[in-house]
């Protein structure tokens, strides 16, 4: 089935008001049953990427970075088992993986270390060989995205 520009725009407009979750994708499939899951996922991903690119600068100001870092630290101190990073990312409408990077880079800046050159993404968990070795030294740095 060929997707028209009007259909694409209608689907994209629906995405504006929903969080980027699997459940939202299921609701989208219910609303547009004539479209394949792959088509909806592609539109979903493309629109989310556009959103991240549009808001990237806002999340990388010195004030925003410091605010996120302090909120992360306070959240971890209150409850180390809580998904602080995920909640923070959802609250400010930013990708959890990119929020993790902001927090980690700010942490490394505070400890006068440079970020590793290579980052590895595996499934839904952020993994880095360098970061893994730091977990013992700095336990609050381990960031898991569910």
pLDDT digit string, tens, across residues 123-135 = 334 445 544 544 4
Look at residues 72, 57, 3 and name the one whose alpha carbon lies nearest to residue 32.
3
Which one-letter DSSP state was computed for residue 113? -
Q: What is the pLDDT of residues 40-59, one digit of tens each?
A: 999 988 988 998 899 999 99
Residue 122 — φ and ψ, nearest 5°?
-135, 120
Structure tokens, 30: 């219910």
For the cut 90, the answer to whether the pLDDT of residue 82 exceeds it is: no
Question: Rounded CA gap, 89 and 38, in Å?
Answer: 26
Tokens describing residue 77 = 């101190």
pLDDT at 138: 43
C-alpha distances in Å from residue 57, one per residue of 52, 103, 121, 132, 138: 9, 15, 23, 29, 28
CA-based nearest residue to 25, from 10, 40, 13: 40
What does the pLDDT look like over 86-109, one tens digit per residue?
999 989 989 999 999 999 989 888
């Amino acid at each position: 089935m060929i997707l028209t520009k009007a259909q694409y725009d209608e689907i994209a407009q629906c995405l504006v008001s929903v969080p980027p979750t699997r459940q939202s994708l299921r609701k989208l499939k219910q609303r547009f049953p004539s479209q394949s899951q792959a088509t909806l996922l592609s539109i979903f991903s493309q629109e989310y990427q556009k959103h991240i690119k549009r808001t990237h600068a806002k999340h990388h100001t010195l004030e925003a970075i410091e605010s996120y870092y302090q909120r992360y630290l306070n959240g971890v101190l209150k409850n180390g088992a809580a998904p602080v990073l995920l909640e923070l990312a959802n609250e400010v409408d930013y990708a959890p993986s990119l929020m993790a990077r902001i927090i980690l880079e700010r942490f490394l800046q505070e400890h006068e270390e440079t970020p590793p050159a290579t980052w590895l993404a595996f499934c839904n968990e952020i993994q880095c060989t360098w970061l893994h070795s730091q977990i013992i030294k700095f336990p609050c740095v381990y960031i898991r995205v569910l």
